[in-house]
A and B are shown apart, each in its own frame.
Chain A
């Protein structure tokens, strides 16, 4: 991919379609979509909506029936698929570590195929283990069955990052992990993404996970209809249709509180001159986290960026621009 032109768009899908032989309907209806460099996009929808098929068409594990796939400014619809996949990270729910290879060898697989020398690969393995929070000395020589589910998926992520691909495809990577470990992995993964700034396409059926992780979310309805493709905030405050509204479920306004930051909301809320001890917060903190602290510490006033705002004004300013299409 060295001959690619630097471009804002990392993935461009043009009318990509999948129909299996002897079936009456498309598994994926013609879909066009553009994903920007460094963007974290989540495909979410009920099972059978074609989101995984769509993901697997990006690295051509499933060959599209029609349409074009552009990655990093290059049409890869008909290039060598193995070569293509070596430059795209791939993480799946079942992890799929090679059980007969040590952690280090699992991570080395792609660098090996790309012809890296041993020393460079070994250094990269240690670097990646550190990156995903596994101590290299402890874990390098272990076999997959000696790891917990969460540790296995950390190795899975490290393996996908091995050759430093600009793009990662992740198919429900945290779906098989228990809720507590999943929450921690999500947080760590977000922090990791802050540092490495990959373009990520992430599939899940869990709308909460989508809202938490995605810069933008593509909500698919039955029959592979793309119902809405927008930021979590837009989706929560302006759901495109009934399907989206029912999919994000009941408490959209409450959920919005974890998507908006106190900085932007405090700007819209009126200042107060009521006396009393205020809780101070950073502007980039989500409203939900700050409210939680205010409730537990029994403060009615928030101070952010030198402005004092009442809790109730903060609340209504957070969800004020929300509208339900009637």
Chain B
């Protein structure tokens, strides 16, 4: 049971916040320059056409966004429920299942799902959700549990109802840890979404897998570089959101 991401330690200075997007820009520029300058055979140039790259990248982004939205919609409410005192007996089994979802290799889930249910975008999303559920679930639970008991005691002692306590106190105070979990899920999903190519769901995995299958190094390299650039970009965006959405005063 790992994957409790807590961000506190590294609070980047204002200037260094722009290093990550700069790397992304340089990476994308290098890829574009390489494609423009390299001598490509017909397979390569077809794979590395601008329209194809944009399409694959968009498919990839869509997979990540949809699966993360689904996993947030599932994981956060489930985490809230599991963090309640009366749910403490169901917490271990649910976490066990979520843990298993992450322990099982995504390729395995994808292939099994493809055999059992079929291929396509939805199957890929299911696999990504299974994989990314744990960090969100766990961070929601931990985020809520780490709220200072004295704060909860004071809130109850002044007459806050349990619902009000949750909305006004517990959730706002859990937000930083929950956002850290969402950030981890997003980054995981950028990587794992490359496997969606095996269920015919597209994405940058098509370039990587196609590059390997046809033994075309340039295609493989471009697929990898763009996946890295996307992961870095997503991490930066999530980090920025984390800082903006965390309540002041904590």
Interface stretch of the complex, out of A79-87, A191-199, A200-208: A79-87
CB pair B172 A85 closer than 8 Å: no
> What's the minimum C-beta distance from A113 to chain B, rounded to whole angstroms?
6
CB pair A92 B150 closer than 8 Å: yes
Interface stretch of the complex, out of A18-26, A99-107, A217-225, A317-325: A99-107
CB pair B249 A144 closer than 8 Å: yes
Q: Which residue of B lies closest to A85 (CB)?
A: B159
Contact pattern, A 106-124, Cβ under 8 Å of B = 1, otherwise 0: 0001100100000000000
Q: Is A66 an interface residue (CB 8 A)?
A: no
Q: Chain B CB within 10 Å — which of A100, A102, A110, A169 has the most?
A: A100
Q: Chain B CB within 10 Å — which of A82, A86, A95, A102 has the most?
A: A82
Q: Is B105 an interface residue (CB 8 A)?
A: no
CB pair A83 B249 closer than 8 Å: no
CB pair B250 A100 closer than 8 Å: yes
Interface size class of B (residues with CB under 8 A): 20 to 34
> Which chain A residues (151-168) contact chain B, with CB distance < 8 Å?
156, 159-160
Q: Quick one: given A82-B161, A85-B158, A86-B159, are A92 and B153 in contact (CB under 8 Å)?
A: yes
Contacts of A92 in B (CB 8 A): 150, 153-154, 157
Q: Which residue of A lies closest to B152 (CB)?
A: A96
> What's the minimum C-beta distance from B194 to chain A, rounded to whole angstroms?
38
CB pair B153 A82 closer than 8 Å: no
CB pair B247 A100 closer than 8 Å: yes
> What's the minimum C-beta distance from B249 to chain A, rounded to whole angstroms?
4
CB pair B249 A145 closer than 8 Å: yes
> What's the minimum C-beta distance from A79 to chain B, rounded to whole angstroms?
12
Contact pattern, A 69-98, Cβ under 8 Å of B = 1, otherwise 0: 000000000000111111100101011111
Q: Is B225 an interface residue (CB 8 A)?
A: no
Contact pattern, A 157-195, Cβ under 8 Å of B = 1, otherwise 0: 001100000000100000000000000000000000000
> What's the minimum C-beta distance from A178 to chain B, rounded to whole angstroms?
19
**Which of B155, B172, B248 is in CB contact (< 8 Å) with A143?**
B248
**Which of A90, A99, A169 is in CB contact (< 8 Å) with B250?**
A99
**Which of B151, B157, B249 is in CB contact (< 8 Å) with A61?**
B157
**Which of B156, B157, B160, B247 is in CB contact (< 8 Å) with A113?**
B160
Q: Is A59 an interface residue (CB 8 A)?
A: yes
Contacts of A160 in B (CB 8 A): 158
Q: Chain A CB within 10 Å — which of B151, B157, B164, B169 has the most?
A: B157
> Which chain B residues (159-177) contact chain A, with CB distance < 8 Å?
159-161, 164, 168-169, 172-173
Q: Quick one: given A102-B249, A143-B248, A144-B249, are A96 and B151 in contact (CB under 8 Å)?
A: yes
**Which of A85, A87, A97 is in CB contact (< 8 Å) with B151?**
A97
Contacts of B158 in A (CB 8 A): 85-86, 90, 109-110, 113, 159-160
CB pair A61 B156 closer than 8 Å: yes
Distance in angstroms between the alpha carbons of A145 and B173 in the assembled complex: 14
Contacts of B154 in A (CB 8 A): 90, 92, 95-98, 156
Contacts of A156 in B (CB 8 A): 154
Q: Is B41 an interface residue (CB 8 A)?
A: no
Contacts of B172 in A (CB 8 A): 100
Distance in angstroms between the alpha carbons of A83 and B160 in the assembled complex: 9
Q: Which residue of B lies closest to A99 (CB)?
A: B250
Q: Is B11 an interface residue (CB 8 A)?
A: no
Q: Is B148 an interface residue (CB 8 A)?
A: yes
CB pair B156 A85 closer than 8 Å: yes
CB pair B150 A100 closer than 8 Å: no
CB pair B159 A113 closer than 8 Å: yes
> What's the minimum C-beta distance from B41 to chain A, rounded to whole angstroms?
59
Contacts of B161 in A (CB 8 A): 82
> What's the minimum C-beta distance from B167 to chain A, rounded to whole angstroms?
12
Distance in angstroms between the alpha carbons of A94 and B149 in the assembled complex: 9
Distance in angstroms between the alpha carbons of A156 and B172 in the assembled complex: 20
Q: Which residue of A lies closest to B164 (CB)?
A: A113
Contacts of B169 in A (CB 8 A): 98
CB pair B153 A61 closer than 8 Å: yes
Contacts of B157 in A (CB 8 A): 59, 61, 85, 90, 92, 96, 169
> What's the minimum C-beta distance from B175 to chain A, rounded to whole angstroms?
9
> What's the minimum C-beta distance from A145 to chain B, rounded to whole angstroms?
7
CB pair A99 B173 closer than 8 Å: yes
Q: Which residue of B lies closest to A156 (CB)?
A: B154
CB pair B249 A101 closer than 8 Å: yes
Q: Which residue of A lies closest to B247 (CB)?
A: A100
CB pair B155 A100 closer than 8 Å: no
* 27 CB-based A-B contacts, threshold 8 Å: A59-B157, A61-B157, A81-B159, A82-B159, A83-B159, A90-B158, A92-B150, A94-B148, A94-B150, A95-B150, A96-B148, A96-B151, A96-B153, A98-B155, A99-B173, A99-B249, A100-B172, A100-B173, A100-B250, A101-B249, A109-B155, A109-B158, A109-B160, A110-B158, A113-B160, A145-B249, A169-B157
3 pairs of A and B residues whose beta carbons are closest in the complex: A96-B154, A94-B150, A86-B159
In addition to A81-B159, A101-B249, 4 A-B residue pairs with Cβ atoms within 8 Å of each other are A99-B151, A100-B173, A109-B158, A143-B248
